[in-house]
């Protein structure tokens, strides 16, 4: 004869509540997206600001974006690899943006390298690197340069969500 496990209505509610508590932080994280005006002013110009210093002072997260403003035809924004960033090489960008108001959203973790589409502007330090983390803007500092902390936090978050959803589906 098979034994039937009986759970009380109270136990089911407690498990559902636990699942919601685990899932809620991961769902809320994307609602903290911020649009940053590049350099703090949004003006993309070799005379505008120290972009490197500005980028280092901010914490960028997945879903955040940056906004560039410049005169059409007089500049552009290039998303490049680290080598092209270091050398101000404009010949083979990952992405080229030419609209006078350019907004770029961060969809992935890791470094993003931006330079001016005009090499002489880049040589005048119109360039910067952004490191995107999984942290929300209000809570934690950025991970160490190797990014291992961000990977660990993401892994724990998704394991918690998986465990909670498994418990919810079991009832």
Q: What is the pTM of this model?
A: 0.62
CA distance 135 to 62: 8
**Per-residue confidence at 151, pLDDT binned at 50, 70, 90?**
low
CB-based burial of residue 82 (10 Å sphere; 0-12 exposed, 13-18 middle, 19+ buried)? exposed
**Spatial distance between the Cα atoms of 28 and 23, rounded to a whole number of angstroms:** 9
pLDDT of residue 26: 42
Q: Give the pLDDT confidence score for residue 48 in this predicted structure.
A: 79
| Mean per-residue pLDDT over the chain, rounded | 77
CA distance 41 to 47: 12
pLDDT tens digits for range 52-103? 999 999 999 999 999 999 999 999 999 999 999 999 999 999 999 999 999 9
Residue 159's pLDDT band (cuts 50, 70, 90): low
> DSSP letter string over 107-142?
-SSEEEEEEESSHHHHHTT-EEEEEEESS-TTT-PP
Question: Is the pLDDT score of 125 beyond 80?
Answer: yes
Q: How large a percentage of the chain has pLDDT more than 90?
A: 56
pLDDT recorded at residue 138: 46
Q: Which CATH class is domain 33-148?
A: mainly beta
Helix (H, G, I), strand (E, B) or coil at 69: strand
Task: Count the residues in the chain.
Answer: 171
């Amino acid at each position: 004869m098979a034994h039937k496990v009986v759970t009380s209505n109270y136990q089911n509610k407690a498990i559902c509540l636990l699942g919601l508590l685990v899932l809620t932080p991961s769902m809320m994280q994307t609602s903290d997206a911020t649009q940053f005006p590049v350099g703090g002013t949004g003006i993309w110009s070799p005379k505008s600001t120290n972009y490197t210093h500005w980028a280092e002072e901010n914490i960028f997260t997945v879903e955040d974006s940056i906004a560039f403003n410049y005169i059409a035809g007089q500049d552009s924004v290039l998303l490049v690899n680290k080598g092209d960033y270091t050398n101000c090489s404009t010949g083979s960008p990952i992405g080229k943006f030419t609209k006078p108001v350019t907004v770029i959203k961060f969809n992935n973790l890791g470094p993003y390298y931006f330079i001016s589409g005009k090499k002489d502007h880049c040589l005048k330090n119109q360039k910067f690197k952004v490191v995107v983390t999984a942290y929300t803007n209000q809570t934690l500092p950025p991970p160490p340069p190797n990014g291992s902390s961000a990977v660990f936090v993401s892994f724990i978050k998704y394991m918690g969500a998986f465990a909670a959803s498994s418990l919810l589906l079991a009832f």
